[in-house]
Structure formats: C-alpha cells, structure tokens
Amino acid sequence: MVEHVAILDADRHEVKHASSALLDQVLHSDGSGGSIFKFLDYSSIINIPVPVGYEQILTNVSLAASQGPVALDTPYKVEFGAGIVTADATLNSAGRITFHVEGDYLVSVFLRFGRTAGAGTSTLLSRILVNGSQVLSSNAVRVPDQNSITPFSAAIPVHALAGTYFELEIARDSSGINNGGLFRVVPAVLPWSAAASASVVVSKFIGAAV
C-alpha cells in the first residue's frame, strides 16, 4: 500500500466534487467538516481593504496682511507662511513645495484677492507652476472697487517624482489698473481666526489599508 503523501501529483485524484464545479468556483468549507465548490461571496472575505484615499501631510497659512506684485504684468510668487519640512514634502518660506517621495498628491490652495486704492477695475491673475512650467489654465478675477474681497480656491492633482516642485504665481494684468493682490481679513467676532491672504493644504494618496 502506498501512502497518499507518496503518490505523485499526476496520479492523485481531484478534490471531491471538482468534476462538477463550474469555472472560477472555489472550494468552500461548510464549517461542519464538509466542503463544496461555490462562487466566492464578498461577505465571506475577511481582512477586506478599507479605502483610505488622501491623507493630509502638510498645511500652512500666510501671516502677511497683504502680498502681491508691485507693477503691472509682473509675476509674483505667493508665499504660504514659514517653512515646513515633512517626510513627503517641504514648503519653504518663498512658497515653493518640493516633493521628496514619488506619489499622487492633491495641493489645495486658498486665495483672497482684493485691492486698496486707485480708480477703475483691477484684473488679477493666478496660475499654477510645476517644475517651473504652467499647468492647467490661468485664473482671472476682476476687482471693481476698494471694498471687494474675492475668495478663490482650487485642488490641483500632482503626480510627483522625487524633486518635483510646485509654485503659485499671481499678477496684475495691464488690462486693469496697477493695484491689487492678496489680503488677510481679520474678523471682529472672536474667537474666529483670521482669513489668511493665502493658505495651502497638501494631501497624499495612500490607497487602501487592511
């Protein structure tokens, strides 16, 4: 008599009911010592991955009362406050975000356009730069008077390699007057925090976790 363990694979019989099992059905224990072939139910799976998506890795705000260009058609790089260093990305005091780890990121920016003087309408532009080149279309805001504050926000997806950098520029277009930029609004109601002239949130896609 030959022990079952010594039988060559080619000579071993299939599991019971295998001959009648349908394509892609799997062997399933019934919990009572028996087994059957059946299609796998999602409810039978344990350790199902939990979708996580994006995780915030960096956030900061400008503390400047105002910031912006000093002349028409002259780009100005927006700053988002003091520098911050994380494992995935670094923000410097000039507003540049440099990614250290390859991945998919979401950069959310918040701006508050306004003006303080002059007669006429200001035309203020903004654009996104990745590695020094513009991505997506420019944004434009017209500010007709000195009491207007126009908020703007955008969430920009960036597939970054190590060393990829992100910047935001604004400009006063010569189709309008030479006035305007980004302005902080300090609420009179307390304890509300100030509405910064510019702020940024960087999130990284981390997929799913078990």
What's at 101, amino acid-wise?
V
pTM of the model: 0.76
**Is a pLDDT exceeding 90 seen at residue 66?**
yes
- CB neighbour class for 111 (10 Å; exposed up to 12, middle 13-18, buried from 19): buried
**Is a pLDDT exceeding 90 seen at residue 32?**
no
pLDDT tens column, 109-166: 999 999 988 889 999 999 999 999 999 999 999 999 988 899 999 999 999 999 999 9
d(CA 75, CA 54): 31
d(CA 186, CA 193): 7
Region 77-90 average pLDDT: 97
What value, to the nearest 5°, has the Cα angle with vertex 118 and ends 110 and 152?
10
Please report, for the chain, how many H helices and E strands are present, in that order. Answer: 0, 17
Query: Which tokens sit at 41?
Result: 């139910």
Looking at CATH, the fold of the domain delimited by 51-209 is given as Jelly Rolls (2.60.120)
**Is a pLDDT exceeding 90 seen at residue 201?**
yes
Domain chopping of the chain, boundaries: 4-44, 51-209
Residue pair 110/200 in contact by the 8 Å Cβ criterion: yes
Residue pair 57/175 in contact by the 8 Å Cβ criterion: no
